[in-house]
Amino acid sequence: MATFTAACIQLRSGKTVAENAVAAEQLIRQAAGDGAAYVQTPEMSNVLVRSRDELMDRIGPEETDPFLAMARRVAAELSIHLHLGSLAILKEGGNAANRAFLIGPNGDVQASYDKIHMFDVDLPNGESWRESATYDPGHDSTLVDLPFGRFGMAVCYDVRFPAIFREQAKRGAEVLTVPAAFTRQTGEAHWHVLQRARAIENGAYVISAAQGGLHEDGRETYGHSLIVDPWGQVIAELDHDAPGYVLATVDTENVAKARARIPAIANERGFACRLADGLKEIPA
């Protein structure tokens, strides 16, 4: 069991990686100065560019990404665990990865995770997104052990696929993470309930830093970075869409307490899905 201070950094990332790194570094330093030992930034911290061609012109491989270099330097200087919610990283073959990084207090990358679920949707207000046209999806769910406990890594749209979080919780994750760049429309409708649901059903903390506001590429994101406790209570929220940060005390003893009260993971059973005649199983 461990107690630590966690921080969500809320950004309004634009098209220029170097400028985004400067803005993020300032907030990371402020959060660490307020006692945060674990600091999380949102999805696409390094750049938000809707045009595929323009994005590819602005990003590079992780070895040369200036945002990642800044993060490694700052994590080592401040002796914090710094979780980059994700960066757009150029891959061999012409596509990008939507890749999260967990950096330790020595500046080394302890874990990375490529977003599994691509946001390919057409929204009622006319917004249309096809992440799969730019990003290669990941295939593996990632867990990482920190001094405070076991963390599960996910990104944004993954939150709508509860199996990832259940499997992480079954494998000992006490803190689930969902850094995001939720659209304003979907955020207003679903952001809070999805974060709270993942916390409640798994008896785990959920930490979700967010992008917020009107971005340089014209998109609008919802903001409202959240930290939710294992009983589903919002214990910290940046209740707007402007850049900033929010802090909360996380006590992993509360994970054990929640799972003892409602042992949903222990009580889970496998089942088949069949038609009403009881004879024919319905394929997925």
**8 Å CB contact between 135 and 159:** no
Read off the tokens for 194. 């999805």
Which of 260, 200, 210, 258 is CA-nearest to residue 234?
200
Concerning whether 8 is annotated as a catalytic residue, the answer is: no
CA 143, CA 123: separation in Å to the nearest integer? 32
Category of 218 on φ-ψ map: left (φ > 0), alpha (ψ -120 to 50) or beta: left
Q: How far is CA 72 from CA 104, 105, 110, in A?
A: 8, 8, 11
CA distance 194 to 161: 10
Answer yes or no: 156 catalytic. yes
Q: 8, 43, 174, 237: which is the annotated catalytic residue? A: 43
Of 8, 62, 131, 156, catalytic:
156
Annotated active-site residue in 62, 115, 131, 237: 115
Residues 10, 42: Cα–Cα separation, whole Å:
7
- Active site members: 43, 115, 156
